[in-house]
Structure 1
């Protein structure tokens, strides 16, 4: 049968075909996974360190503010008492001037039927 064949069959080359490259051959780009994890851990540690230092500073400032208020309280109370005394004295003088023609009016007498001290109420507008 092969005597009357007029075509040439396509055959592999001697020794066979070269192997087919099917694997990816990409170069390594960027840092490795271990380096990335180490960087994240390092940055997180530094961040917690800074947060801790900031918390200590805020705590110290709050303590300083509290003690400054404690030390200033007596002076502020004394100033408030002096202001209250000055206002009550001015109010009494105004009352004497306004009610001088009213018979039986006692300036400074409480309008309430009680012996207990009731401070004046201030309305600020």
Structure 2
């Protein structure tokens, strides 16, 4: 065996401190009664404030919906007016383009009506391709919304 140099590690005099195995209770800042009291006071103060803001927000929602319902007929009428204006322009262009063909009637397909079973005064909403048939495809997005600027 070799010789030990220096003092040997031994337990302290009187022994080690005993292990802590009991539960240490946390320090409580808010007790049960105080927590219930804070909850009740918060609800008593907060509920009228919440109801007031909820009613105010509900009035704003009703007002916004009323504005929307009031302006929708105007917007639909404006859209219809612009579409009819564009249809008139397309018919004028068709008459100008096909003026050299003596048997061509504007608004028909080689003299036959496009819709056979529809009355002559029946309005059939055209698709977008019919509205912009004589325009350059690059200009179509601009022409679709040009009526909003005038």
- Pairwise TM-score range, normalised by the shorter structure: 0.5 to 0.7
Q: Which runs of 5+ in 2 are unaligned?
A: 1-24, 130-139, 142-150
Look up the match of 2:91: 92
- Counterparts of 1:108 and 1:74, CA distance in 2: 29
RCO greater where, 1 or 2, for CA within 8 Å and sep 6 or more?
A: 2
* Deviation at residue 29 of structure 1 after TM alignment: 5.8
* Deviation at residue 121 of structure 1 after TM alignment: 0.9
- The structure that has the greater radius of gyration is 1
* Deviation at residue 32 of structure 1 after TM alignment: 3.9
- Counterparts of 1:74 and 1:56, CA distance in 2: 28
> Alignment partner for residue 121 of structure 1, among 99, 102, 127?
127
> Would you say how many aligned residue pairs link Structure 1 and Structure 2?
99
Q: Output the TM-score relative to the length of structure 1.
A: 0.62
Kindly report the root-mean-square deviation, in angstroms, between the aligned alpha carbons of the 2 structures. 2.7
Q: Output the TM-score relative to the length of structure 2.
A: 0.53
Q: Which runs of 5+ in 1 are unaligned?
A: 1-25
